[in-house]
Amino acid sequence: METSGFIHRFEKGRPEERPLVLLHGTGGDENDLIPLARMITPTAPLLSPRGKVLENGKPRFFRRLAEGVFDEDDVRRRANELADFVTNARSQYGIASPIALGYSNGANIAAAVLLLRPSELAGAILLRAMLPLTHPKPVKLDGVPVLIVSGARDPIIRPESAAKLASLLERYGAAVEHRVLPAGHELSQADVTLAQSWWNKKAPNC
Ligand code: MLT
């Protein structure tokens, strides 16, 4: 299905539950994070777009110049485009503002949406995220709950960059929990457990 040019999946779930918007990693698609989301919550509405940027045929959410070096103009443009997609999908499907669940490139675009369109998301679970913009302008994220889970041995996302993202979001008012697992870039059962317990505490019905 397409809304605002994004191929996506939508699972209705229970309308009184806070929805999740699922943002896959490089080379993934709209199906990738559904099983993870369903481990976190069996019944929330799920909105899952496919990134529109292709890197050697692999879908992503924005252009990069090299691993970990982003085309920041494209980050801005794509984060706004994704935020518009979320707004349109909310009225099309009648859902409340969602919490983002992003992995790797998907976590980075979710962080960019928080920094550029702060009222679009009700919160975020950012798995293996880094700071996507070098000099973001201050925004108001008062009390927005954010879970960041990093891997201490992640060769792609430097732990300092995840820590910078956490402290910046905190400075702008978000309620950030940053956990560092003894893991690499891949997700582990510990990520699922952390995300489940955070969701149960932070994602009340809407
Ligand atoms: C990115 O490009 O967003 C990060 O380097 C993570 C990745 O997708 O490999």
Ligand 1: which of 64, 82, 128, 154 to mutate, most ligand atoms within 8 Å of CB? 64
pLDDT digits (tens, 9 = 90+) for 69-93: 999 999 999 999 999 999 999 999 9
pLDDT digits (tens, 9 = 90+) for 113-137: 999 999 999 999 999 999 999 999 9
User: What atom in ligand 1 is closest to the CA of residue 68?
Assistant: 5
128 lines ligand 1 (CB under 6 A): no
Output the 3-class SS for the chain.
Answer: CEECCEEEEEECCCCCCCCEEEECCCCCCCCCCHHHHHHHCCCCCEEEECCCEEECCEEECCCEEECCEECHHHHHHHHHHHHHHHHHHHHHHCCCCCEEEEECHHHHHHHHHHHHCCCCCCEEEEECCCCCCCCCCCCCCCCCEEEEEEECCCCCCCHHHHHHHHHHHHHCCCEEEEEEECCCCCCCHHHHHHHHHHHHHHCCCC
53 lines ligand 1 (CB under 6 A): no
pLDDT digits (tens, 9 = 90+) for 162-190: 999 999 999 999 999 999 999 999 999 99
Active site residue 185: yes
